[in-house]
């Protein structure tokens, strides 16, 4: 194979090269198919270029790759853009023996690759599986390749390609792209793309245009634009460097501000550090330096006449050091006053790297943007809080019925949520269409947990109506048994429960406020349940019976109501709702056997805080807890755990002062 | 009445059994040349501590009717307090020893800094947080074993009983307290090494040369003494007039209040006292376990405590002991991989997988069919003839 | 060297070892191997797989004729994700069952729990999981990655290859993320990243409410710097995190996420089509294209089922177990001190190519791999370094930069190179 290659190379003067190659290639293909081995034609120019850069390409590092990309992109060779695209798409393979590039496909058996030409896709023989390596550019390199491709693609007839090019351009913007972009802008017909290109042009103008007036104009055109892109372009223009000098700022420097040492923006220590770094002040002798000096001057177990063994306090060491100072053996330490005087003799100030015209325009534009960003940021937090509240509400609403209306503590409530989530998972195993499976899973989850609830009520809870504390314990037993059962059946690994595509994205209002559709769906579901339950409890026969059994079971039964049946149905209803909540929670988080136990304490608190026996109370409780938690998180965004801790502590204190919750039942019902 | 506390048959039997058990274990232990392995002695010693906290739980729930889901938190706090001293003192020894090699004799600040790096280095810190202020003093930390759970219980109980939070509400509130405490301790910023907790607690400073087989005996005997004392104390409390009032509160709080008793004071006293007992049990338990971390305090642990007491039989102190010992030892056996698998032909039941299910179902059954638990069975057997 | 000659050599080595053992013959048959992995509780998710891996490796060794003429007998105990129970079970394994070696543990806290027991009873533990370092015990061989074998190369990759200028360090609130992030913060500052460009956040185990954190991360890009996320989020909290990331439309090209605790097992719990391109750093991926790995994966699937995946800690056990087997053969005994001595310099081929070497500090030299998530839940390896020697004490924190671990020559795991003294012989726990 190798020999044929060299022969061909020797044979081919450039003019005849292609024709000769084509003939030869065809011949060789014919021969190869007979022999099962294949020789290859000489590299085409683009292949030669790749071969020249083979080391860089194989090294595949963003630090060194740029010359290789530039060489191909600027080569002007036909197929350069195709090669770049295939490189970006990870279609290139390199043969280890000679560093030549191909496209490759797995052969019929797993151990060979069929090779093809990088541009023309002509067959180029086969290679063993371990003889070729796939070139896998990382995303940093891919971004560079995409940026190099921009100039080929901005005028591509396919709008999707142009859009991709525009994205790539914004990801790796550079000054050279400004001209091709402006040229392409003139020729763009698609109105949407034209808008996007026009915006990209302004973004690039802000950064790379030389004409100051045009830049200012572009900067000001972003007034009120909340996008991260716009802010990411404007903010760096306000970068400053901290400077220090005796004379103060020069005339031509664009000073952002003068800093006073000792103020919030520049502590004395930081100011002095800066002076030391600029060699404007001597180092302060710190503890380590002092100790090092002491060790250096140990003679016969003594430092300046002080025995080493006695240097076991700071004061003793300082004293020994002063003695050394007196002997002139070490550098003088400075007093606080000396340091302060030295700092005071300098001016510290920050200087913009951009000229005043630009910074002025940016400051004017960005201030308004930042104000709206802060406002929208608050809105975003509020939406998150609302979403969290609806999740808590959904998890707790089943409890609001079983605990709130019936007074039954069901510690296995969390496990009903878990059962619902697993039902969703099982349904997805049988119905691969996510939308259809969701439509099936929601009612099925209700049925499954309704049945489980009725079973639990019949077998366990109805014997314990007069012993609420024991219900708590018995249902806890059910809870641990169910959790372990789920582990035994489904394994301990989390199971996938995937939302359909139409629930996949997020509702993006702007780059600050966005909320995922799945959270909106949960919110809607919570509202539906709220309305439904209010309707059932207040406007149906069942609701009437439930309320009457709750207030006085004996009186109710004498009115012809069967309390047994009502309790069973109510408990089933509460459990069934937990099942549906489980599907929703599984969709946005995870499906594991301990899914429910994470919600149980919070759910009980939601019900208790809101006021037992009242759906509105549960709503209020969930809202309070959701907003509280997000509010605390907002103050301390780096520690979510702390937010949860303080939220619970707040609730404990809250219940001390309002033991019956926000919506306390009054009158006779409260005693029931 | 009071005189008769040591003449009550149940107290005498329990004390005798406990003494016999302690003597037997000590005699058969490795330290005394016997065959009982050190790990088993530790397990038994820890079980005695669990029995002690179960007695506290029985006192507060079985006698006073407060289903506290927070007593294991008090237990853990006791462990943390004693653990802080063990860690600090052990580290101090290492640091001082290492510092001897340095040219300059170390300053107190350097020692403290080195201890901080050593203890908190593994959790990404370096400074000794303020709550470790007294960690260098064994006596203060031992005092804190009693004070910290006691004061927490006092404040929490005072707030809760004052607002007349009762029944299941109180249970949920205590559970919330436990959750808050464990979440707080889970934070690295809490200064108690977050999720890692305090470890190496079996190596007691000052006892480096004592083999663990002997240390385990010390702690076993100490646990037995504490259990015996706790039992007598509990029996004494529930036998007098005080005990009658407390049981009255359990059975009908309103009626006792109408009789003129300060119900809240009684409840607060029992709640705080049992928290202190739990703290002492924890302080004895964790040096045997070797490590304490916030997962120990998680709400589920306190629920298990209630489960033990319920299975053992509420309202009878020996019931608590039986329950705690029975369930925790059974649990050790089933998770130890030594319980034989049951081959059903079509499937093999592995106890590791099914033990929890069994426990859950057993618990439901006990609640439904045997509300007096195993202790009730004992009563039945004893009174039958 | 092709596969055949390799196995021939192994067979040869085995037979010579066997004859050597016939002389030494101071082992009691069967040789017991302790397996200390949680089979119930929260960690069962990860650890059960490792127990199965060990059983597979032991069965395989027994088929090859066992060790020193003895059958290997696994002793499986369940510490139930309960940390004190780890210490108790370790003591039981060492004193009641008299195991020759223990393979086990996952979480750092469980390791800290068994350390005192191991050191007291002179046991031997192989710990297979990536961890935070800052520890060295004579009785533990750390076959997982130290921070410099995972976190540091990953950050270098972010800085050099992806041009990331602003970092969000998101982690679960426990010791591994805390220590790793502390090391990384210092490392980034040394690399010239200002403190205000490092955003740190800790969340509890199993956290599911990620929307505001993801929003915070996206907002970091507002000053024009490229943002990257370094995730030490543990276990199933990842599922909610990645779901939220996908929902927010954060593409790996804009904000890449590199995870240290997300492997093939974790990805099997979610649909990865929206996560394509996000990264993970490990010493092993199932997709590694070597004959050894192909065989290993095939055996695993044949034993456990087609849908099961392999992951990094499994490879760590694979290397650790085989090194232990070879060390025992060399020593001719299972005596802990003799085996420990024989462990130093042990070499064994990695499943990812190259050779792992056991260093005097009880860590391995292993290559670091960076993989991109693919839509089939596997990783596409896009970067593989040379073997990096594991470092027990990080060089990037001033207080541990002076420390060094060398059990072979210095007999000390915490040696202060400045004062040239051994700080402590036992490990710190």
Contacting A residues, span 214-273, partner chain B, CB-CB under 8 Å? none
- Residues of chain A with C-beta less than 8 angstroms from the C-beta of B189: 639, 642
% of chain A surpassing 70 pLDDT: 93
Pairwise CB contact (< 8 Å): B364 & A648: no
Rg (CA), chain B: 22
pTM comes to 0.87
Helix, strand, coil percentages, rounded to 5, for chain A? 65, 10, 25
Neighbours of B166 (CB within 10 A): 18
Neighbours of B206 (CB within 10 A): 10
- Residues of chain A with C-beta less than 8 angstroms from the C-beta of B168: 409, 468-469, 472
State how far the Cα of A34 lies from the Cα of A25, in Å rounded to an integer. Answer: 14
CB pairs under 8 A between B and C: 139
State how far the Cα of A351 lies from the Cα of A362, in Å rounded to an integer. Answer: 15
Mean pLDDT of chain A: 84
State how far the Cα of B224 lies from the Cα of B49, in Å rounded to an integer. Answer: 8
**Which residue, chain included where needed, has tokens 């998710």?**
C45
Q: Give the residue from chain A lying closest to C46, CA to CA.
A: A493
What is the distance between the terminal CA atoms of chain A, rounded to a whole angstrom? Answer: 94
Write down the domain spans for chain B: 2-296+315-321
- Least Cα separation, residue A14 to chain C (angstroms): 38
B199 strand-pairing partners? B291
pLDDT digits (tens, 9 = 90+) for A136-163: 898 889 989 998 988 888 888 888 888 8
Residue A652: is its pLDDT beyond 50? yes
Own/partner pairs, B125-133, CB within 8 angstroms, 24+ separation: B125/B188, B126/C399, B129/B191, B130/B191, B131/B191, B131/B192, B132/B84, B132/B88, B132/B191
Strands B198-199 and A347-352: unpaired
- Residues of chain B with C-beta less than 8 angstroms from the C-beta of C117: 202, 290
3-state secondary structure of B253: helix
What the block records as the tokens of C423 is 């700080």
Nearest to B356 among A409, A473, A481 (CB): A481
Res. C278 pLDDT band, cuts 50 70 90: very high
pLDDT digits (tens, 9 = 90+) for B12-22: 999 999 999 99
pLDDT digits (tens, 9 = 90+) for A110-120: 788 888 998 88
pLDDT digits (tens, 9 = 90+) for A296-309: 888 888 888 888 88
State how far the Cα of A618 lies from the Cα of A17, in Å rounded to an integer. Answer: 82
State how far the Cα of B179 lies from the Cα of A645, in Å rounded to an integer. Answer: 8
Q: Give the residue from chain C lying closest to B203, CA to CA.
A: C116
Give the pLDDT confidence score for residue A581 in this predicted structure.
Answer: 92
Nearest to residue B42, comparing CAs of B201, B195, B275?
B201
Maximum separation of any 2 CA atoms in chain A, in Å? 110
Residue B4: is its pLDDT beyond 90? no
- Residues of chain B with C-beta less than 8 angstroms from the C-beta of C88: 39, 42-43, 289, 332
Pairwise CB contact (< 8 Å): C135 & B122: yes
State how far the Cα of C330 lies from the Cα of C346, in Å rounded to an integer. Answer: 10
Which chains neighbour A (Cβ–Cβ under 8 Å, 3 or more pairs)? B, C
Res. C12 pLDDT band, cuts 50 70 90: very low
Give the pLDDT confidence score for residue B177 in this predicted structure.
Answer: 92
Res. B337 pLDDT band, cuts 50 70 90: low
Nearest to residue B96, comparing CAs of B83, B78, B81, B112?
B112
pLDDT digits (tens, 9 = 90+) for A582-602: 999 888 877 888 888 888 888
- Least Cα separation, residue A631 to chain C (angstroms): 11
**What residues contact B198, with CB distance under 8 A and at least 6 apart?**
B80, B83, B84, B86, B87, B192, B286, B291, B292, B293
Q: How large is the ipTM?
A: 0.87
**What residues contact A167, with CB distance under 8 A and at least 6 apart?**
none
- Least Cα separation, residue B353 to chain A (angstroms): 7
Distance of CA A451 to the CA centre of its chain: 39
What the block records as the tokens of A177 is 């792209």
Question: What is the torsional sign of CA A21, A24, A29, A32?
Answer: negative
**What residues contact A238, with CB distance under 8 A and at least 6 apart?**
A256, A352, A354, A359, A362, A363, A366
State how far the Cα of C53 lies from the Cα of C351, in Å rounded to an integer. Answer: 14
Pairwise CB contact (< 8 Å): B335 & C76: no
Pairwise CB contact (< 8 Å): B335 & C78: yes
**What residues contact C313, with CB distance under 8 A and at least 6 apart?**
C46, C49, C50, C106, C128, C129, C130, C144
- Residues of chain C with C-beta less than 8 angstroms from the C-beta of B195: 109, 173-175
Q: Give mean pLDDT, residues B116-130.
A: 80
C48 in reach of chain A (CB within 8 A): yes
Pairwise CB contact (< 8 Å): B186 & C109: no
Pairwise CB contact (< 8 Å): C135 & B353: no
Strands A132-134 and A92-95: antiparallel
C33 neighbors C74 (Cβ within 8 angstroms) = yes
- Least Cα separation, residue A625 to chain B (angstroms): 13
pLDDT digits (tens, 9 = 90+) for B220-248: 999 999 999 999 999 999 988 999 999 99
Q: Give mean pLDDT, residues A430-458.
A: 94
Residue B381: is its pLDDT beyond 90? no
pLDDT digits (tens, 9 = 90+) for A68-87: 999 998 888 888 889 999 99
3-state secondary structure of C136: coil
- Residues of chain B with C-beta less than 8 angstroms from the C-beta of A411: 303
C223 neighbors A231 (Cβ within 8 angstroms) = yes
Nearest to residue B219, comparing CAs of B123, B309, B136, B285?
B285
DSSP string, A22-61: HHHHHHHHHHHHHHS----PPPPHHHHHHHHTHHHHHH--
The CATH code belonging to domain A374-671 is 1.10.3470
B300 in reach of chain A (CB within 8 A): yes
* H or E segment and range at residue A162: helix A159-171
Question: Torsions phi, psi of A303, nearest 5?
Answer: -120, 115
% of chain C surpassing 70 pLDDT: 94
Give the pLDDT confidence score for residue A417 in this predicted structure.
Answer: 94
**What residues contact B33, with CB distance under 8 A and at least 6 apart?**
none
State how far the Cα of B275 lies from the Cα of B74, in Å rounded to an integer. Answer: 6
What the block records as the tokens of A510 is 């702007």
pLDDT digits (tens, 9 = 90+) for C315-371: 999 999 999 999 999 999 999 999 999 999 999 999 998 899 999 999 999 999 999
C376 neighbors C264 (Cβ within 8 angstroms) = no
- Residues of chain C with C-beta less than 8 angstroms from the C-beta of B212: 120
Neighbours of A279 (CB within 10 A): 7
C255 neighbors C218 (Cβ within 8 angstroms) = yes
Pairwise CB contact (< 8 Å): C162 & A62: yes
Give the pLDDT confidence score for residue A39 in this predicted structure.
Answer: 55
Write down the domain spans for chain A: 2-140, 154-238, 240-352, 374-671
What the block records as the tokens of C237 is 């909290």
What the block records as the tokens of C265 is 């097992």
Pairwise CB contact (< 8 Å): B43 & C112: no
- Least Cα separation, residue B219 to chain A (angstroms): 32
Rg (CA), chain A: 37
- Least Cα separation, residue C136 to chain B (angstroms): 11
State how far the Cα of A184 lies from the Cα of A178, in Å rounded to an integer. Answer: 10
Give the pLDDT confidence score for residue A10 in this predicted structure.
Answer: 41
- Residues of chain C with C-beta less than 8 angstroms from the C-beta of A523: none
- Least Cα separation, residue C180 to chain B (angstroms): 8
- Least Cα separation, residue A61 to chain C (angstroms): 6
Strands C140-142 and C125-127: parallel
Give the pLDDT confidence score for residue C268 in this predicted structure.
Answer: 78
State how far the Cα of C8 lies from the Cα of B321, in Å rounded to an integer. Answer: 62
- Residues of chain B with C-beta less than 8 angstroms from the C-beta of C202: 187-188
- Least Cα separation, residue C424 to chain A (angstroms): 22
* H or E segment and range at residue B137: none
A-interface mutation test, from B60, B251, B304, B357, most A Cβ less than 10 A away? B357
Give the pLDDT confidence score for residue A156 in this predicted structure.
Answer: 85
Q: Give the residue from chain B lying closest to C93, CA to CA.
A: B39
B175 neighbors B302 (Cβ within 8 angstroms) = yes
- Least Cα separation, residue C160 to chain A (angstroms): 6
C421 neighbors B101 (Cβ within 8 angstroms) = yes
Give the pLDDT confidence score for residue C93 in this predicted structure.
Answer: 92
pLDDT digits (tens, 9 = 90+) for A484-539: 899 888 877 778 888 888 888 888 888 888 888 988 999 999 999 999 988 988 89
- Domains of chain C in start order, with CATH, are 3-145+287-367 (3.40.50.2300), 151-259 (3.40.50.2300)
B254 in reach of chain A (CB within 8 A): no
State how far the Cα of C273 lies from the Cα of A501, in Å rounded to an integer. Answer: 11
**What residues contact B365, with CB distance under 8 A and at least 6 apart?**
none
Nearest to A645 among B159, B167, B184 (CB): B184
- Residues of chain A with C-beta less than 8 angstroms from the C-beta of C248: 506, 514, 516
State how far the Cα of C33 lies from the Cα of C56, in Å rounded to an integer. Answer: 13
Pairwise CB contact (< 8 Å): B357 & A649: no
C84 in reach of chain A (CB within 8 A): no
| Cis peptide upstream of residue C30 (ω within 30 degrees of 0) | yes
Pairwise CB contact (< 8 Å): A633 & C199: no
Nearest to residue A501, comparing CAs of A480, A479, A517?
A517
State how far the Cα of C358 lies from the Cα of A279, in Å rounded to an integer. Answer: 47
Neighbours of B312 (CB within 10 A): 31
Strands C198-203 and C227-232: unpaired
- Residues of chain C with C-beta less than 8 angstroms from the C-beta of B292: 84
Pairwise CB contact (< 8 Å): A655 & B163: yes
Listed range (A396-400, A611-615, C170-174) with the worst mean pLDDT = A611-615
């Amino acid at each position: 194979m190798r020999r044929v290659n060299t022969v061909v190379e020797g044979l081919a003067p450039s003019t005849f090269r292609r024709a000769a190659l084509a003939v030869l290639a065809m011949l060789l293909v014919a021969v190869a198919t007979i022999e099962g081995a294949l020789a290859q034609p000489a590299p085409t120019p683009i292949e030669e270029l790749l071969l020249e850069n083979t080391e860089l390409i194989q090294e595949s590092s963003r630090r060194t790759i740029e010359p290789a990309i530039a060489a191909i992109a600027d080569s002007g060779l036909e197929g350069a853009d195709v090669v770049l695209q295939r490189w970006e798409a990870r279609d290139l393979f390199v043969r280890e023996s000679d560093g030549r590039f191909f496209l490759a496909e797995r052969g019929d058996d797993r151990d060979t690759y069929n090779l093809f030409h990088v541009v023309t896709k002509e067959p180029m023989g086969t290679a063993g599986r371990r003889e070729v390596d796939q070139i896998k550019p990382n995303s940093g390199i891919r971004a560079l390749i995409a940026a190099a491709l921009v100039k080929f693609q901005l005028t591509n007839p396919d709008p999707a390609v142009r859009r991709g090019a525009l994205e790539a351009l914004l990801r790796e913007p550079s000054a050279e792209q400004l001209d091709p972009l402006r040229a392409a802008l003139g020729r763009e017909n698609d109105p949407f793309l034209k808008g996007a290109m026009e915006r990209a042009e302004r973004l690039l103008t802000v950064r790379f245009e030389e004409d100051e007036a045009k830049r200012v104009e572009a900067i000001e055109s972003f007034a009120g634009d909340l996008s991260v892109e716009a802010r990411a372009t404007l903010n760096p223009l306000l970068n400053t460097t901290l400077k220090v000098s005796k004379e103060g700022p020069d005339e031509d420097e664009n000073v952002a501000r003068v800093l006073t040492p000792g103020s919030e923006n520049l502590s004395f220590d930081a100011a002095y550090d800066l002076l030391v770094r600029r060699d404007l002040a001597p180092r302060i002798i710190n503890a380590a330096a002092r100790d090092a000096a002491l060790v250096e001057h140990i003679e016969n177990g003594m430092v300046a006449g002080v025995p080493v063994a006695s240097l076991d306090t700071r004061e003793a060491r300082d004293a020994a050091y002063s003695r050394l100072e007196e002997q002139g053996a070490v550098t003088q330490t400075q007093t606080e006053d000396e340091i302060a005087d030295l700092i005071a003799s300098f001016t510290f100030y920050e200087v913009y790297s951009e000229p005043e015209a630009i910074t002025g325009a940016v400051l004017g534009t960005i201030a308004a943007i930042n104000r709206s960003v802060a406002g929208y940021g608050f809105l975003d937090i509020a939406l998150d809080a609302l979403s969290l509240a609806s999740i808590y509400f959904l998890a707790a609403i089943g409890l609001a019925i079983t605990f709130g209306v019936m007074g039954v503590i069901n510690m296995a409530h969390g496990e009903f949520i878990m059962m619902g989530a697993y039902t969703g998972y099982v349904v997805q195993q049988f119905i691969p269409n996510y939308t259809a499976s969701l439509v099936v899973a929601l009612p099925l989850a209700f049925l499954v947990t309704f049945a489980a609830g009725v079973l639990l009520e019949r077998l366990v809870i109805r014997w314990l109506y007069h012993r609420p504390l024991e219900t708590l314990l018995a249902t806890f037993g059910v809870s641990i048994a169910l959790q372990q059962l789920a582990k035994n059946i489904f394994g301990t690994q989390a199971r996938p429960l995937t939302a359909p595509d139409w629930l996949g994205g997020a509702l993006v209002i702007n780059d600050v406020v966005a909320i995922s559709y799945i959270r909106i769906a949960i919110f809607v579901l919570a509202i539906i349940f709220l309305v439904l339950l209010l309707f059932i409890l207040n406007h149906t026969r069942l609701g009437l019976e439930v309320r009457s059994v709750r207030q006085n079971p004996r009186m109710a039964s004498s009115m012809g109501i069967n309390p047994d049946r009502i309790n069973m149905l109510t408990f089933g209803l509460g459990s069934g709702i937990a099942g549906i909540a489980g599907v929703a929670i599984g969709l946005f988080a995870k499906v594991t056997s301990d899914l429910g136990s994470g919600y149980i304490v919070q759910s009980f608190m939601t019900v208790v805080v809101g006021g037992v026996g009242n759906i509105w109370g549960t709503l209020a409780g969930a809202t309070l807890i959701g907003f509280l938690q997000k509010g605390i998180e907002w103050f301390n965004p780096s520690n979510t755990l702390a937010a949860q801790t303080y939220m619970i502590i707040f609730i404990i204190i809250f219940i001390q002062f309002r033991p019956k919750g926000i919506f306390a039942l009054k009158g006779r019902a409260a005693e029931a | 009445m009071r005189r008769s506390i040591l003449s009550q048959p149940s107290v005498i039997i329990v004390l005798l059994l406990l003494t016999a058990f302690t003597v037997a274990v000590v005699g058969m232990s490795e330290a005394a040349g016997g065959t009982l392995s050190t790990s088993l002695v530790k397990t038994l010693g820890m079980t005695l501590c669990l029995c002690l906290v179960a007695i506290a739980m029985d006192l507060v729930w079985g006698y006073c009717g407060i289903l506290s889901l927070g007593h294991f938190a008090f237990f853990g706090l006791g462990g943390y307090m004693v653990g802080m001293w063990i860690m600090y003192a052990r580290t101090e020894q290492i640091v001082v020893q290492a510092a001897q090699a340095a040219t300059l004799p170390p300053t107190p600040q350097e020692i403290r800094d080195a201890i901080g790096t050593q203890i908190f280095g593994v959790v990404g810190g370096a400074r000794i947080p303020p709550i470790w202020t007294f960690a260098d003093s064994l006596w203060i930390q031992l005092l804190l074993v009693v004070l910290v759970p006691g004061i927490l219980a006092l404040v929490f109980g005072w707030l809760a009983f004052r607002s007349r939070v009762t029944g299941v509400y109180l249970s949920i509130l205590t559970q919330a307290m436990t959750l808050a405490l464990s979440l707080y301790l889970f934070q690295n910023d809490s200064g108690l090494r977050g999720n890692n907790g305090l470890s190496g607690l079996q190596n007691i400073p000052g006892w480096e040369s004592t083999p663990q087989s002997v240390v385990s005996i010390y702690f076993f005997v100490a646990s037995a003494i504490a259990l015996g004392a706790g039992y007598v104390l509990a029996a004494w409390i529930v036998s007098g007039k005080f005990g009658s009032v407390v049981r009255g509160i359990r059975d009908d709080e309103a009626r006792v209040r109408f009789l003129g008793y300060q119900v809240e004071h009684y409840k607060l006293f029992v709640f705080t006292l049992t928290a202190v007992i739990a703290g002492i049990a924890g302080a004895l338990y964790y040096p045997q376990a070797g490590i304490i971390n916030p997962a120990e305090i998680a709400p589920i642990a306190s629920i298990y405590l209630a489960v033990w007491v319920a299975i053992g039989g509420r309202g009878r102190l020996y019931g608590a002991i039986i329950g705690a010992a029975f369930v925790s030892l059974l649990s050790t056996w089933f998770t130890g991989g030594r319980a034989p698998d049951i081959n059903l032909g079509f499937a093999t039941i592995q106890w590791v997988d099914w033990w929890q299910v069994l426990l859950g179902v057993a618990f439901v059954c006990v609640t439904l069919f045997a509300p007096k638990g195993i202790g009730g069975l004992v009563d039945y057997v004893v009174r039958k003839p | 060297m092709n596969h055949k000659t390799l196995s021939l050599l192994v067979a040869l080595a085995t037979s010579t070892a066997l004859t050597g053992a016939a002389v030494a013959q101071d082992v009691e048959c069967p040789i017991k191997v302790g397996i200390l992995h949680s089979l119930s509780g929260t960690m069962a998710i990860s650890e059960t797989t490792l127990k199965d891996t060990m059983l597979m490796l032991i069965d395989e060794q027994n088929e090859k004729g066992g060790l020193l003429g003895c059958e290997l007998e696994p002793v499986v105990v369940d510490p139930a994700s309960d940390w004190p129970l780890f210490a108790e079970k370790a003591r039981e394994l060492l004193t009641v069952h008299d195991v020759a070696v223990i393979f086990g543990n996952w979480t750092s806290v469980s390791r800290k729990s068994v350390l005192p027991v191991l050191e007291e009873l002179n046991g031997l533990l192989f710990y297979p999981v990536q961890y935070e370092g800052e520890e060295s015990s004579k009785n533990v061989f750390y076959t997982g990655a130290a921070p410099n074998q995972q976190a540091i190369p990953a950050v270098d990759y972010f800085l050099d290859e992806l041009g990331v200028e602003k970092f969000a360090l998101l982690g679960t609130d426990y010791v591994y993320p805390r220590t790793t992030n502390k090391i990384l913060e210092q490392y980034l500052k040394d690399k010239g990243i200002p403190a205000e460009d490092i955003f740190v956040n800790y969340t509890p185990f199993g956290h599911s409410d990620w929307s505001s954190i993801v929003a915070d991360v996206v907002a970091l890009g507002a000053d024009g710097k490229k943002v990257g996320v370094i995730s030490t989020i543990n276990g199933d909290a990842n599922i909610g995190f990645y779901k939220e990331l996908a929902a927010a439309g954060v593409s790996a090209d804009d904000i890449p996420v590199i995870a240290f605790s997300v492997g093939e097992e974790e990805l099997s719990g979610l649909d990865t089509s929206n996560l394509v391109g996000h990264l993970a750093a490990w010493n092993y991926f199932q997709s590694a294209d070597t004959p050894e790995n192909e065989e290993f994966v095939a055996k695993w699937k044949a034993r456990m089922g087609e849908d099961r995946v392999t992951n990094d800690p499994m490879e760590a056990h694979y290397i650790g177990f085989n090194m232990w087997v070879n060390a025992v053969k060399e020593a001719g005994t299972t005596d802990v001190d003799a085996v420990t001595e024989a462990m130093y310099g042990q070499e064994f081929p990695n499943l990812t190519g190259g050779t792992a070497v056991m260093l005097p500090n009880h860590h391995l030299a292993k290559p670091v791999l960076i993989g991109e998530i693919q839509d089939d839940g596997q990783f596409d390896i896009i970067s593989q370094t040379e073997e990096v020697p594991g470092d027990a004490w990080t060089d990037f924190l001033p207080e541990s930069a002076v420390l060094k671990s060398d059990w072979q020559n210095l007999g000390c795991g915490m040696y202060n190179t400045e004062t040239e003294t051994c700080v402590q012989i036992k490990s710190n726990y």
